[in-house]
Structure 1
């Protein structure tokens, strides 16, 4: 039987180069054996490398720590960092927002320059022969009342001269530690905070901090916190003013701002200008000293000073217009407030001719001051006051009357002054601001500003420098 040749075996199918693409293999994975342990086979590795172009490595230059102007070193951060929190969100049902606003303003009126060089050592050379003399401060005393039982506490070291005449990150960190040291409400969440630089982000002089939750009012109320020794010490250390406010929707939207005039809207005291013009400075100073010693109240001292003007020309108020110097930033502040629709008023313990003239110049809506009688025949002042004297009680009542007339709640009323006769008005308002005021007034006021421009008041409302420029533009 003839031997027949066996049929030729068919060639094994294979993928062509145009078929061995990565996408093709991924679309036909059902034809591939399953991989064990999650490892890739050699085919997958080879197939993945076919679409990869291998380029020769670039020349590598060792970095020796000195940047090259042609190819400076670069640090590329491609990551994102985001924390999901609800600090500034709508509070949960059945709860309310509990945020405290702290506006920190650097005192540009008296900045302390940063020390860049260590002064030379000027310590005197030691004495060759020791002296047995007792220093004066260690000499014994005969009376116990003259002996200092305890030395006074040292004033805190000014820190802004070390870190710069602005609000440094260390300044903010110090204040965060201060607030964090105060007890929070029982059961409340941990303290969270955020900040906004209201002017220059690199070297800010005005920063707004938001804290949540507020310190426990059972431990310290907001009014007590404003007077807390820790706050005063922080202000002295960092040369700043700290304005604390509860964060409410009305904080940014005042509707009535009332000002004192002397040393607030203007830099001078009108009574001193008049006294200097007629040569009675010594007499006025003596009456002022008696008032400061508690011998005279404001109304009595004012009447005593007005009597000194008897016989002066009634044109003296017109003559003083040329020497009146408005406080820096006042004109822009009034312009911004009017653009916001805010009503403004000035209450002066001085005289209505100058007060009304200043109000007309600045565009202030209400002006109240004292009226001094003048003889219509000779136009000479008689030294008598007509009507009620604008004292502390009168200023407060006028503010309340205007607020009621304009239907403005007191929470949206701001009062600004510098003297003790402004405290009643400031305490009755939603926010009382002591402007470069006496120490007693700064202690009692809800807020204090010790800058050189009254325009800083807008930052207390939470406006940035960009927003302020928009308002005054």
Structure 2
């Protein structure tokens, strides 16, 4: 029987890691726990690190829409290290086919005239008949509540006590155009209706003048751009300037608010017309003349009273001027020359006129005073045009006769002269500015593109399109959008 050979069992080969199972991580190959193939809702750090190549934890971002340079919630602006850049696209140039409808508001803080609280105190008790109250009650109430009349007689007290003035908020938040002041103004403007089709009010601001005396350089003049302007069919700009909320805001924050439409002509005036008395100079010439007359002794006071009432609009200017000139009968004609050194030019006038001349702006003075002094002052200041009243001087005695030659330069004549000068120079009225303080200046202010009341009488402040109540007439340049730095260059 043949011997049967049996082959030895095959030798088991050494385990070899398949290529599909090989990894560059020793720990991964020898760990006992393997994470699931797909990440769960809760991602641990191990899952994120180990399966980062196979799975994306963050949702994919759609980058198909190209960034067009306009910040939006989907494409927010990026701040690059080392610089800060702010974009205010709603106030940039309008879209093709649309028209700019922006309102410019210039806020002037009246630092030279800080307002104190004008709150009306409770009225003091007025003695009333003994039958009204017992003596013990009258002694126990020396000061009545502000809501009660202090008398039992309606003839001695009005039916309602005077309304209290708003508290001066600049005392609380800073004696300058503070951030709270700007925020309050923007909130106020947001209460006015917008034009049809507009839903949001956009704004931007810039400081035009900083307080050099304060170490933190607080802003004293701030220009705000509001887009769009309030609906003109609901509240025209002329009425918006007189709105009681605007007036109350000015009282609260001790500021003047100048509102103008943002037009091309706002930044490029070509003719500026000034009143003379109490505008270019701080005095009234006719009062200076009257003060030289000693007999009668009350003449100066009588003339000053007529002047004040005429400037307030209580008297018709032409007749009031003739009445005052009549009182000056007998004064020597040489007195006009003697008054030249006495004239006090308003602060800021000389640098203002220098700046206007460097800008190529024509200037004129239209005065309800006297031509000899007006012409002389215009020559001294370099003003291009000068018009005023001519008084009659007796050739024999050399003294005033108390009469006026030709038409009185009153409110109607001032408007006519402004229009004549503008037509002669080929300047549209939109580029004309008129500055004055009295009621006889209102018509020329209305004819000009911009009328500015300078430390004016109450009625003039209310009727003029803008008002300035500072201590320097140089502030006029801020209404054109010039900054403090630019004004310094113009007046250097």
**Superposition TM-score tier, normalisation by shorter sequence:** 0.7 to 0.9
The count of corresponding residues between Structure 1 and Structure 2 is 390
1:222 to 222, 234, 237: 237
Equivalent residue number for residue 186 of structure 1:
196
Q: Is the 8 A contact 1:369 1:390 kept in 2?
A: yes
Residues of 2 paired with 1:183 and 1:150: CA distance?
A: 33
The answer to whether structure 1 residue 311 and structure 2 residue 330 are counterparts is: yes
1:61-120 deviation digits (Å, cap 9, x = unpaired):
xxxxxxxxxxxxxxx994877665532322112210011000000113313599xxxxxx
Q: Is the 8 A contact 2:311 2:457 kept in 1?
A: no
Equivalent residue number for residue 246 of structure 1:
261
Residues of 2 paired with 1:207 and 1:290: CA distance?
A: 35
Per the TM alignment, residue 380 of structure 1 is displaced from its structure 2 partner at its CA by: 1.6
Q: Is the 8 A contact 2:149 2:161 kept in 1?
A: no
Per the TM alignment, residue 219 of structure 1 is displaced from its structure 2 partner at its CA by: 2.1
Equivalent residue number for residue 433 of structure 1:
452
Equivalent residue number for residue 348 of structure 1:
367
Q: Tell me the secondary structure at the aligned position of residue 358 of structure 1.
A: helix
Residues of 1 paired with 2:382 and 2:356: CA distance?
A: 10
Residues of 2 paired with 1:293 and 1:252: CA distance?
A: 31
Per the TM alignment, residue 292 of structure 1 is displaced from its structure 2 partner at its CA by: 7.3
Per the TM alignment, residue 323 of structure 1 is displaced from its structure 2 partner at its CA by: 0.8
Equivalent residue number for residue 224 of structure 2:
209
Q: Tell me the secondary structure at the aligned position of residue 195 of structure 1.
A: strand
1:458 to 457, 466, 477: 477
Residues of 1 paired with 2:325 and 2:150: CA distance?
A: 53
Q: How does 1:26-425 map to 2 (within 5 A)?
A: 37-39=51-53, 78=81, 86-111=89-114, 132-135=139-142, 137=144, 141-144=151-154, 146=156, 148-200=158-210, 202-279=217-294, 280-285=299-304, 287-288=306-307, 291=310, 296-425=315-444
Q: Is the 8 A contact 1:259 1:416 kept in 2?
A: yes
Q: Is the 8 A contact 2:434 2:452 kept in 1?
A: yes
Q: Is the 8 A contact 1:374 1:382 kept in 2?
A: yes
Please, what TM-score do these two structures have when normalized by structure 1?
Answer: 0.77
> Any stretches of 5+ residues in structure 2 without a counterpart?
1-48, 55-78, 118-135, 212-216
Residues of 1 paired with 2:149 and 2:107: CA distance?
A: 45
Q: Is the 8 A contact 1:108 1:452 kept in 2?
A: no
> Any stretches of 5+ residues in structure 1 without a counterpart?
1-34, 41-75, 115-128
Per the TM alignment, residue 152 of structure 1 is displaced from its structure 2 partner at its CA by: 2.9
Q: Is the 8 A contact 1:113 1:164 kept in 2?
A: no
Per the TM alignment, residue 163 of structure 1 is displaced from its structure 2 partner at its CA by: 2.3
1:177-205 deviation digits (Å, cap 9, x = unpaired):
11111111232141111101002284010
Q: Tell me the secondary structure at the aligned position of residue 219 of structure 2.
A: coil
1:278-314 deviation digits (Å, cap 9, x = unpaired):
2331331454477579885211111111122222111
Q: Tell me the secondary structure at the aligned position of residue 267 of structure 1.
A: coil
C-alpha spacing 1:80/1:39, structure 2 compared with 1 (3 Å): farther
Residues of 2 paired with 1:140 and 1:180: CA distance?
A: 41
C-alpha spacing 1:140/1:278, structure 2 compared with 1 (3 Å): closer
Equivalent residue number for residue 14 of structure 2:
none
Residues of 2 paired with 1:149 and 1:109: CA distance?
A: 37
Q: Is the 8 A contact 1:198 1:464 kept in 2?
A: yes
1:218-257 deviation digits (Å, cap 9, x = unpaired):
2211111100111111101111000000001110100010
Residues of 2 paired with 1:459 and 1:442: CA distance?
A: 18
Per the TM alignment, residue 131 of structure 1 is displaced from its structure 2 partner at its CA by: 7.1
What CA RMSD, in Å, does the superposition of the two structures yield over aligned residues? 2.7
Runs of 4+ in 1 over 6 A off after TM superposition: 292-295
Residues of 2 paired with 1:292 and 1:444: CA distance?
A: 14
1:22-77 deviation digits (Å, cap 9, x = unpaired):
xxxxxxxxxxxxx973359xxxxxxxxxxxxxxxxxxxxxxxxxxxxxxxxxxx99
Q: Is the 8 A contact 1:189 1:213 kept in 2?
A: no
Q: Tell me the secondary structure at the aligned position of residue 150 of structure 1.
A: coil
Residues of 2 paired with 1:112 and 1:77: CA distance?
A: 45
Equivalent residue number for residue 130 of structure 2:
none
C-alpha spacing 1:78/1:145, structure 2 compared with 1 (3 Å): farther
Per the TM alignment, residue 161 of structure 1 is displaced from its structure 2 partner at its CA by: 1.6
Residues of 2 paired with 1:140 and 1:313: CA distance?
A: 57
1:319-372 deviation digits (Å, cap 9, x = unpaired):
001110000000010110011111100011110010001100100000000011
Please, what TM-score do these two structures have when normalized by structure 2?
Answer: 0.74
